[in-house]
Amino acid sequence: MWFSRYILLPVWLVSHSLALPQQNVPSLDSLGATPSVSLKQGTIIGTATVVEAGSPTVDKFLGVPFADLPLKRFAPPEPVKQSSKTIQAREWGPKCIENTEPGPLVDTSEESENCLFLNVYVPGTTTRNKAVMFWIYGGNLQFGNAGQPNYDGAFFAAYQDVIVVSANYRTNVFGFSNSPELPSNHRNAGFLDQRLALEWVQQNIRAFGGDPEKVTIFGESSGASSVDRLLTAPPSPLPYRAAILQSGQASVSVASPADGLKSWRSLVKHLACDGSSSELDCVRKVDASKIKSLVKEEALVFTPANDGVTQLATPQIIRRSSGHAAPVPMLIGSNGLEASLFLQPFFKELYESKSADAAYEFSARMLGDQVAGFIRDQVVRTTSKGAVALFLALSQLASDILYKCASAVSQNPTWRYLFNGTFPNTQAPLILPEYGLNSVGAFHSSEIPIVFGTYKEFEKYAPSTQDQIALSKYMMKAWADFAKDPHQGPGWTRMTGSLGDNTACLGCDKNPGGMKFISTAFLDLNCLLINPFYLAKQPLF
């Protein structure tokens, strides 16, 4: 399971590098006020804060249950029951059980199977019927949680006058068990969690000042692939009117769709549940900590199933390109050098590779046989130019295959971007100057603190730059403008084909604090070669 061993660790380390401690809310100034909202499930008590001196106030409601607890393991969630109780919503709720690797940045905050909580960030303004932005976090569907400082929606809400909602959902075996004993429409519990959270928003967001008809779903990485699934296997009635996909789509993955069932079989065997009259019941009786340990030790990767409800067998890229997706406006894009995040932890090994064969073997182990085979010629040609050149070439090609090209196709009204912002404090944790690696480019997830305005979390490495601050303001406004009026777009030209300068480059050299247009045809040059690869060899989830 190379995917778990070589990809999950670097992604998890970076995505969690800002997440400690989790159970204490971020150090925003509290006003001592106690905002409250009355819902059918009870009275929700939050906290009023300001994100910085002079900023508008934000009411934060953290750790609000959106499902009936306790949850039944591997089962679909049930709506939260009506109640007259008072719910103190001042801290993030427990995260769902993660499949992570040990490391210096391990998040030791509370995790639980009873983890279906959401957070609502409400601007302190008096206007009603605000636009709502519903965030879905990434993590390869193996880890992640909504209660990370990087995802704090208070800055977004304060400065853009939108309501931000983020919700936990189950991942790894707890969210995507692949048990053959489950009804097919129950096998993607994690996606059902997301849908129940969206139902909660539809039923309750008016009480917070939001408009349930103005919901935009947005996510990054596997959060964006979740958005893609919500587009290509849409719920009815539709709980959103627009979608933003940051660095992710659901058609192409480095994980094999067969991994999920193989992992379930392996787990059942290691738990000595094989041969039981019901393997599912047997696994349900095992302590969650033991299951988590086995998943980690055996590097088991659990992938979604084609359940006919949350995920269809038809490739999502084909559904989007042929108009068989929810007919809503889309903002979609990727980062300049996504895959550098995945390859960086192994740069020293690449540096020591002396032959093209060794470099190819390295590429296959990092990226999988299918992707590495497709770029073999490029690997061979670039090896002689040195490790840094090979690293950058591999990162670019893998970025195109896994992110840029597969997400570029849609018949929906679409606005497109390329994020290319690089700043000293975001580069600092990843560069290796002693080996000549002085930049890793705009890596996977590096746009998140810019979009959320949480870039100050990186100031432990270096001060924020004026360009970084300006770019964050620009992107927050663009995302919010799109959510407020999707058909007008984020502030640049809508895509009308593959020709013309109609892709927004965010953080490019000539405007590092804002936007410039770039040629879509030039940006997608590699896609002319890559697109047939999708249709011939893509793992169809």
Q: What is the pLDDT of residues 38-60, one digit of tens each?
A: 999 999 999 999 998 888 999 99
Over residues 334-353, mean pLDDT: 85
7-11, 279-283, 324-328, 398-402: which has the minimum mean pLDDT?
7-11
Q: Answer yes or no: 199 catalytic.
A: no
pLDDT at 145 over 60: yes
Compute the distance between CA of residue 173 and CA of residue 169 in angstroms, rounded to an integer. Answer: 12
352 is catalytic: no
Within this chain, do residues 109 and 177 fall inside the same structural domain, yes or no? yes
Q: Is 272 domain-assigned?
A: no
Does 514 lie in the same domain as 392?
Answer: yes
The pLDDT, as a whole number, for residue 21 is: 38
73 and 101 part of one domain: yes
- Do 317 and 375 share a domain, yes or no? no
Q: In the numeric block, which tokens belong to residue 241?
A: 């009117």
Specify the pLDDT at position 9.
44
Give the strand order in the sheet containing 86-88: 36-39, 42-45, 86-88
Mean pLDDT of 334-358: 81
Among residues 179, 247, 444, 464, which one is catalytic?
Answer: 444
Pick the catalytic residue from 98, 338, 447, 457.
338
Supply 206's token pair: 């008016």
Q: Is the same domain home to 207 and 319?
A: yes
Whether residue 326 has pLDDT greater than 70 = yes
pLDDT at 7: 47
**What's 346's domain CATH number?**
3.40.50.1820
- Same domain, yes or no: 243 and 344: no
Rounded Cα gap, residues 207 and 132, in angstroms: 13
Per-residue pLDDT at 322 exceeds 80: no
Q: Is 267 a member of any domain? A: no
Closest listed residue to residue 117, CA positions, set 108, 109, 128, 105: 109
Q: What pLDDT does 117 receive? A: 99
Query: Does residue 444 carry a catalytic annotation?
Result: yes
Q: Are residues 319 and 391 in the same domain?
A: no
429 lies in some domain = yes
Q: Are 140 and 11 in contact (CB under 8 A)?
A: yes
pLDDT tier for residue 387 given thresholds of 50, 70 and 90:
confident
Same domain flag for 396 and 310: no
pLDDT category at 366 given cuts 50, 70, 90 is: low
pLDDT for the residue 300 = 95
Task: Establish if 281 belongs to a structural domain.
Answer: no
Q: Which domain holds residue 422?
A: 335-537
Residues 313 and 452 in one domain: no
Q: What is the radius of gyration, based on Cα positions, of the chain?
A: 22
Distance CA(165)–CA(107), nearest Å, equals 22
Structure confidence at residue 521 (pLDDT) = 85
pLDDT higher at 524 or 118: 118
- As a whole number, mean pLDDT of residues 502-521 equals 90
C-alpha 480/C-alpha 490 separation (Å) is 8
| Same domain membership, residue 374 and residue 243 | no
pLDDT band at 22 (very low <50, low <70, confident <90, very high): very low
The C-alpha atoms of residue 32 and residue 9 are separated, in whole angstroms, by 40
Per the domain annotation, does 289 fall within a domain? no
- Indicate whether 152 and 202 sit together in one domain: yes
Question: Within a domain: residue 262?
Answer: no
What residues contact 211, with CB distance under 8 A and at least 6 apart? 128, 129, 130, 131, 132, 205
Q: Is 471's pLDDT higher than 70?
A: yes
Band the pLDDT of 388: cuts 50, 70, 90: confident
The single-letter code of the amino acid at 507 is G
Burial letters 364-397, b for 16+ CB under 10 A, else e: bebbbebbbbbbeebbeebbeeebbebbbbbbbb
- 283 falls within a domain: no
pLDDT: which is higher, 514 or 363 = 514
Q: Phi and psi (nearest 5°) for 526?
A: -65, -25
Q: Does residue 205 fall inside a structural domain? A: yes
Check whether residue 314 and residue 390 sit in a common domain.
Answer: no
The single residue of 4, 17, 221, 399 carrying the catalytic annotation is 221
User: How many domains does the chain fold into?
Assistant: 2
